[in-house]
Each structure stands twice: as C-alpha cells, then as structure tokens.
Amino acid sequence: MESKIPEASIKCEARRAFLALCSPKTRLLHDPVSDPYVVCGHPNPSGLGDADCFSQTGSWGQSSVLFPKLETYRTADKCGRAPYGGAEYGIPQTPEADAMCRKIAALHKGHGAVICPSGLSAIATTLDAFSPKAVLIPDNVYGPMLRFLNRRRIKQIRYSAGASADEFRSVLLKALSEYSKREDLIVYIEAPGSGTFEIPDIDGMIAIAQNAKLRTVMDNTWASHVRFQPLEYGIDIVVQATTKYEGGYGDTPSGIVIAKHPQDLQIIADELRATGNGAVAPTTCSRLYHRIDSTEERLNQHADTAQRLIEWFLKQPFVTNVLSPTLETSPYHERFQHYFGKGNGLFSVVFRPDLSAEHVEAFVDALNLFWVAESWGGHLSLVLPVHAKREVTSLPDGYILRFHAGLEDYQDLLRDLNQAAGCL
C-alpha cells in the first residue's frame, strides 16, 4: 500500500532517496517506516535485539488466574496476590508485571513498585491514591498532567520552573496557610522540566517539604534510574514513563510508580487494584524486564548524539539559543552536574524571533530522519514544537522546537539537518 496523498508520496520518495545514502545502522532503524501510511504511523523495525523472543512466553495476559482449591483462592482474593506471583485476577497485575516491578524497585532502592499502562496513568494513579486537595507543581510540568488535575478539580499551585529553595518556600508557606493538613497537599517535582529543561533546587525543596511533613512525588522520566535516583535524595514516590529509555524502542507503553515507604506502596497498590489500572500486557512487561539492562548503554548513545546536534545548532545563524542543562552556559548547569552528571537525547532549539513560523515549519517538514511525533526516548529521532503555557516562568522569544536524538548514525542526522536548513 502506497500513500494516496500526493505530497506524502513525494515526501516518501525523498526519504527513501535520503536513506539510500545513510549508514546501514540508520537504514535498519528507518527503512520499515519510510512510508508511515503503510505501517499506520507505527515504527516497528526489525533487527532490534532479542526482546521479541522473551515476549512469546509467560501468562499471555490471561484474565483468569487458576487456583487448585477454593481456600487458596479465598486467601489470594483477600490480599490481592496469587501464590504464583502477580494478582489473584489477571487484569490488575500479571507475574511478568510483578517481576518487572521488583527489578525496577531494586534499581531505585525502593520498597516496591507498581506498573501502569502509561506514564500519565502512573501519575494519575498516585494522585488518585492520596486524593490531595492541591498539588504544588513546577511551571514546566508535563502538559497532560495539567489536564488530569483540571479533570479531578485538584488545585494547581505553581512554583517557578527553576525555583530556588527560597522561592519554593515562599510558595509553600502561602499554600500551607490554606491547606494545613498533610493529606491535603502534595509536593510534585519534575526535573529537568518538560520542553525547556529547567532544574529547581531539588535538595532544598525536599528539605523544606520534609520539614513541613509533606509527601513528595517526583517525575524522573528524563533521567531514568541511570542518571538519578530520587528516593536516595529523600523523595517519597517516583513516577516514570517506562515507554521511554527503559523500553528503548517506543513499544513498551507503560509507567512505573516506585515507593520508598511500605505504607505508601500499599495505598498505591490498593488504588491500582480498585480501578483495574494495572492492566499492562505481559509482553510489554517482559520487554521491559530484559531491555532495562541495556538502558545505560542506549541512554549514553542518545546523549552523545544529542551533544553533537546541539553543537551544530549553536553554530547556525538562525538559532538564538539551545535549551539544555548540559551546556555550561545554562543557568541550571551547576545543578545538572550535581544531580544528573550526563544528559539524554532531549534538547530544544530557540529560533530567531524574526523568523516566521512558516519558515521554521518548512525546515521541520524538509527533515527526513527526524519524525514529527509525540513522546521520546525511542530509537528514532523526533521533533515537535514547544507550545508550553506558563503562569510563572517566561518563555524565550522565538519559535521553539524540541528535538530527541535517536540511535541513528549522528553523521546521517547532521547531513539531514544541513539539507533542511536551506529552508531557513
């Protein structure tokens, strides 16, 4: 099946011609999806390791968990766990999910974990479990979380994206004047934050929250367990989208919640059981279980390629800034070194304010290896506009594009950027 839209067919031919000159590694990643209409827009290239064979064994997602005797079932139903591992009912948590949760909890040095169908689901499950009246959030928080908070009518109390301890304390003291009970308020951290990658004073915030006896939750998706382990710094609960670096190829839609304290884990696990939101395919859990061992190797390659692309953008006359805490010029570089040490595949590019949106978007449309797509952390390079809505933190002037550096040969990616730059 070929694309029926003329412009799409022309683009597919241009992409195929470009790929013909790329390295075998880059072709392996892109060839099967040179025409997104053929594969319904889903990248699923062959030759990406042995994870598939691990996915062909296990429970296969059976909803019925079998018990030899009624008493065995009653015991399992009471505690929500089967004697073989997993839940007493296959929808909440399979044995494969159980194994994955134990593995990632150990990597984070947490008491335990639960797995959810997405990163957003992990956030939603955590907040639903504790039912706060208000959440302190950074101004650069993950966009879909805001929709969730609005849907649940949970008040958003925003603090500066790169807040100092004093700035955060000021916001918290005002919040505490309205919400005095511990269960009414949660402190939520995301660092580096979405789109623009500011980093707050995490140490200072944790100390202030602990002093106020407030529960802390951190979205650690950017860093993964490789770059940062929030529980070791005093965070109570970690949420991550394991669709990203742990899975590595975008085919593990899931999210994880890791708890430091047994009582918090129990509350979250009870929420998961009550809502049925733990229904993650055993094949997904198996992929995660095995691929997580190579997270650091892949993450390092993403980071190295991103730095090469950042260097290219910094030399271009149409760019006013590159947003990445890995750069020494970033106001958050010192915090970046303290907490994370090395980057990932993400960075954002700020284009000259005098460049029209039409010119910047023509540049995007001319790219052959950078696909326009949401999410990140997978094998393919991606690009997407940053249209954040901030209430406290101002955005730079100019069109902002977020890039994710994939696992392609970096020389092919640079060649692609060079040819598309002719549109600017």
245-268: buried (b, 16+ CB within 10 Å) or exposed (e) per residue? bbbbbbbbbbbbbbbbeeebbebb
Please, are residues 241 and 226 in contact by the beta-carbon 8 Å criterion? no
Supply the pLDDT for residue 204.
Answer: 98
Inform me whether the pLDDT recorded for 4 exceeds 60. no
Q: In this structure, are residues 48 and 42 in contact, taking their beta carbons and an 8 Å threshold? A: no
Q: What pLDDT score was predicted for residue 48?
A: 52
Q: Over 50: is that where the pLDDT of 41 sits?
A: yes
Mean pLDDT of the chain: 90
**Distance, CA of 115 to CA of 350 (rounded, Å):** 36
Query: Per-residue pLDDT averaged across 203-216, rounded?
Result: 97
pLDDT at 64: 75
pLDDT grade for 55, boundaries at 50, 70 and 90: very low
Domains of the chain: 6-47+294-423 (3.90.1150.10), 52-292 (3.40.640.10)
- Which of 228, 185, 189, 183 is CA-nearest to residue 206? 189
Counting runs of H as helices and runs of E as strands, what totals does the chain give?
17, 12
Greater confidence (290 vs 87) lies with: 290
Preceding peptide of 192 cis, ω within 30°: yes
Alpha-carbon span 100 to 91, nearest angstrom: 16
Q: What pLDDT digit, counting tens, does each position of 138-186 carry?
A: 999 999 999 999 999 999 999 999 999 999 999 999 999 999 888 999 9
Most confident of 29-43, 122-136, 373-387: 122-136
Q: What is the pLDDT of residues 233-280, one digit of tens each?
A: 999 999 999 999 999 988 899 999 999 999 999 999 999 888 888 888
**Candidate ranges 282-296, 352-366, 385-399; pick with highest mean pLDDT:** 352-366
Q: What is the Cα–Cα distance from 252 to 305, expressed in whole angstroms?
A: 23
**Over residues 305-328, mean pLDDT:** 98
What does the pLDDT read at residue 275?
Answer: 87
What is the pLDDT averaged over residues 24-43? 73
Mean pLDDT of 48-74: 65
